[in-house]
């Protein structure tokens, strides 16, 4: 590993960052690929070896006691400073991300805003301190038969976190995305495995983070960004004894491999893997009937807009739609077919993703009971496959397997009771969408408990491809949508993934952490004897 001190420029230089240092390794050289052309672009990224990786995790472990001991203001300040530094380099980051991802400028501009907004939202969370979940059961020295000791509880961070970003959000779900923001907010150092689909974007963001860490006078080990070869490098990171939790966004295969590796460690660790979802859409009869044939067309165009947004490369892309039998449903399917036929393929993130999409669409077409309804046109140039709409006789097997990209399957249903059974048998989902009118109230009431059971988010009369970053959002859901349905990777509850409770029993006040001291110096909300008290 060769090391030079970071020079705080915003050039893409072909480096990783280990504990504040720009580094290059000797494990081969990777080049980014331009999504629009499929061509390799400069610079080369000399990949790190496992010894370099060890240096990153060791520095993370050494930095952990310092990060966990930061005050709320200091930690919030770091998060806000990272947002500022990313904004400072916004133009160069967007320019590089456009080339690497093929995503348009407007989308990436929005994603920078989402990324910095997310960092600032977690800064607010840290300043407010509710995530510390302080609980106090005061001593009852006169209780019989036994006195009660003084008991105080707060959340502490788990330790260094490994983050595996997603290809489809090179900013908001990658280097300084939601996993990194929530882990740092919890007080956990982060080691990001740089995504090979956007190494340059990753490097630029990592440089911004590294500047913010240095300016905050915190140890560089709080944040590393490591580029390495293939799955084995990721596995080595996850099985490093100094790593205490994992955040992952990506494919089901990748998520399951990391989950298995984490479970096989001498000390197993939690993995939050957001993996796979076809995000069913349920069109209820009343919603179709409400506006006659125009209503069906409007709904169909809304659906196809969500299906093809960003080349269909959203975790919440709607890949399965339940449509009532009958004339209104026929009109919806016909309109959706026309809308898909009118689409043109947009560039996908990588050649491999485009190829996997084509393979998935072909496999679907070859499946018994599945028929092609419509296909768009491929775009001009490599990696722009055609959007596709199929019908299937039943929501099982290949018909409900995720095809990452703009492919959806239509299922017709006769009555909402049968629909409930079909939905109940689906795998876990990130979202379920319901197109609804007041005439559908009875059917919707029947469906809701099933939807709650199958998805992390239920949305009515909208489309699933927007995910608000806020307090009430859930971007999660039962397996295989995620590896752990009890939390979320978007929204402020995401911080809970990286914390655990500790109870302090009869610890003298002068030794207690500020969060649980009797005089509540941080002015935290506390649960006293089971009742919340605002400060």
Min separation Cβ 512 and its own copies, Å: 9
Report the Cα–Cα distance between both ends of the chain, in Å, rounded.
Answer: 51
For the bound state, the minimum distance from the C-beta of residue 46 to its own copies, rounded and expressed in Å, comes to: 35
Give the residue carrying structure tokens 């001991």.
Answer: 69
Residues 6+ apart with CB under 8 A from 445: none
Taking the complex as a whole, the smallest distance from the CB of residue 415 to its own copies amounts, in Å, to 19
* List of residues 6+ apart from 453 with CB closer than 8 A: 424, 478
What contacts 356, CB < 8 A, 6 or more positions away? 404
Residue (294 or 453) nearer to its own copies, CB: 453
If the CB atoms of residues 75 and 135 are measured against its own copies, the closer one turns out to be: 135
For its own copies, the closer of residues 291 and 500 by Cβ is 500
* Known active-site residue 435: no
Which residue, 190 or 373, is less far from its own copies as judged by CB?
190
Q: What distance in Å separates the CA atoms of residue 139 and residue 147, rounded to the nearest whole number? A: 8
Least CB distance from residue 171 to its own copies, whole Å?
A: 17
Q: Measured from the CB of residue 198, what is the shortest distance to its own copies in angstroms? A: 24
Return the SS3 of 227.
coil
- Token pair of 453 as six digits: 């059971």
Burial 318-347 (b: 16+ CB within 10 A, else e): bbbbbbbeeebbebbbbbbbbbbbebebbb
Cα 233 vs. chain centroid, distance in angstroms? 21
Distances in whole angstroms, Cα of residue 528 to Cα of each of 144, 508, 533: 21, 18, 7
Contact (Cβ atoms closer than 8 angstroms) between residue 165 and residue 173: yes
- Specify the residue, 91 or 453, whose C-beta has the smaller distance to its own copies: 453
Q: Which stretch of DSSP H or E encloses residue 361? A: helix 351-365
Burial of 445 (0-12, 13-18, 19+ CB in 10 A): exposed
Nearer to its own copies, 34 or 184 (CB): 184
> Is 72 within 8 Å of 126 (Cβ atoms)?
yes
CB-wise, 394 or 505, nearer to its own copies?
A: 505
SS3 431: strand
Taking the complex as a whole, how short is the minimal distance between the CB of residue 417 and its own copies, in angstroms?
A: 14
Q: Which is nearer to its own copies, 185 or 374 (CB)?
A: 185
CB of 145 to its own copies, least distance (A): 8
Q: 197: buried, middle or exposed (CB in 10 Å: 19+, 13-18, 0-12)?
A: buried
Write the CA distances from 41 to 34, 38, 203, 274, integer angstroms. 7, 9, 14, 30
Query: What are the angstrom distances between the C-alpha of 340 and each of 103, 359, 388?
Result: 20, 19, 7
The single residue of 22, 85, 100, 274 carrying the catalytic annotation is: 274
Shortest Å, Cβ 141 to its own copies = 13
Q: Which residues pair with 407 in a beta bridge?
A: 388
DSSP label of 2: E
Joined tokens for residue 514 = 């500020």
- Given the complex with its own copies, which of 203 and 440 has the nearer CB atom? 440
- Rounded to a whole number of angstroms, the minimum distance from the CB of residue 530 to its own copies is 5
Query: At its nearest, how many Å lie between its own copies and the CB of residue 287?
Result: 12
For the chain, the maximum distance between any two Cα atoms, rounded to a whole number of angstroms, is 81
Environment class of 483 (CB within 10 Å of its CB; exposed 0-12, middle 13-18, buried 19+):
buried
- Decide whether 232 or 453 has the Cβ nearer to its own copies: 453
Phi, psi of 239 (to 5 degrees): -95, 5
The packing angle between helices 327-341 and 292-308, to 10°, is 40
Query: Is 274 a known active-site residue?
Result: yes
Residues 334 and 4: their CA atoms lie apart, in Å, by 61
Q: Which residue in 85, 203, 315, 435 is the catalytic one?
A: 315
Active site residue ranges: 274, 315
């Amino acid at each position: 590993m060769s090391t030079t001190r970071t020079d705080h420029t915003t050039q893409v230089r072909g480096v990783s960052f280990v504990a504040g240092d720009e580094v290059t390794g000797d494990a081969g050289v990777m080049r980014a690929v331009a999504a629009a052309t499929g061509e390799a672009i400069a610079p080369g990224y000399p990949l790190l070896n496992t010894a370099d990786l060890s240096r990153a995790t060791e520095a993370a472990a050494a930095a952990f006691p310092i990060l966990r001991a930061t005050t709320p203001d200091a930690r919030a300040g770091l998060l806000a400073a990272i947002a500022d530094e990313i904004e400072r380099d916004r133009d160069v980051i967007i320019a590089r991300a456009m080339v690497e991802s093929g995503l348009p400028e407007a989308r990436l501009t929005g994603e920078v805003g989402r990324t910095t907004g997310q960092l600032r939202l977690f800064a607010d969370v840290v300043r407010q301190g509710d995530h510390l979940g302080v609980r106090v059961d005061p001593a009852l020295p006169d209780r019989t038969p036994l006195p009660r000791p003084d008991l105080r509880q707060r959340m502490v961070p788990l330790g260094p976190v490994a983050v595996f970003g997603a290809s489809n959000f090179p900013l908001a779900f990658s280097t300084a995305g939601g996993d990194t923001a929530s882990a740092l907010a919890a007080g956990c150092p982060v080691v990001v495995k740089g995504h090979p689909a956007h190494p340059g974007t990753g490097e630029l963001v990592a440089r911004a983070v590294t500047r913010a860490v240095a300016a905050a006078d915190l140890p560089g080990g709080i944040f590393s960004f490591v580029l390495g070869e293939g799955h084995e490098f990721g596995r080595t990171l996850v099985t490093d004894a100094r790593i205490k939790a994992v955040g992952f966004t990506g494919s089901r295969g990748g998520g399951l491999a990391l989950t298995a590796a984490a479970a096989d460690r001498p000390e197993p660790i939690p993995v939050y893997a957001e993996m796979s979802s076809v995000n069913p859409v349920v069109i209820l009869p009343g919603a179709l009937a409400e506006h006659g044939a125009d209503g069906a067309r409007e709904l169909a165009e809304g659906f196809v807009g969500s299906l093809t947004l960003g080349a269909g490369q959203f975790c919440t892309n709607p890949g399965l739609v339940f449509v009532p039998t009958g004339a209104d449903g026929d009109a919806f399917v016909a309109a959706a077919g026309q809308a898909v036929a009118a689409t043109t393929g947009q560039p996908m993130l990588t050649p491999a993703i485009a190829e996997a999409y084509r393979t998935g669409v072909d496999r679907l077409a070859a499946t018994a009971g599945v028929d092609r309804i419509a296909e768009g046109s491929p775009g001009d140039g490599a990696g722009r496959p055609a959007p596709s709409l199929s019908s299937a006789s039943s929501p099982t097997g290949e018909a409900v397997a995720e095809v990452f990209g703009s492919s959806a399957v239509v299922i017709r249903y006769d009555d909402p009771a049968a629909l409930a059974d079909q939905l109940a048998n689906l795998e876990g989902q990130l979202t379920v969408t319901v197109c609804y009118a007041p005439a559908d109230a009875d059917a919707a009431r029947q469906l809701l408990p099933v939807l709650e059971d199958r998805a992390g988010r239920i949305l009515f009369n909208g489309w699933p491809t927007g995910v608000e970053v806020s307090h009430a959002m859930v971007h999660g859901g039962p397996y295989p949508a995620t590896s752990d349905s009890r939390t979320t990777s978007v929204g402020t509850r995401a911080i809970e993934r990286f914390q655990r409770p500790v109870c302090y029993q009869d610890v003298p006040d002068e030794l207690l952490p500020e969060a649980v001291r009797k005089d509540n110096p941080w002015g935290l909300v506390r649960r006293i004897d089971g009742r919340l008290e605002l400060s």
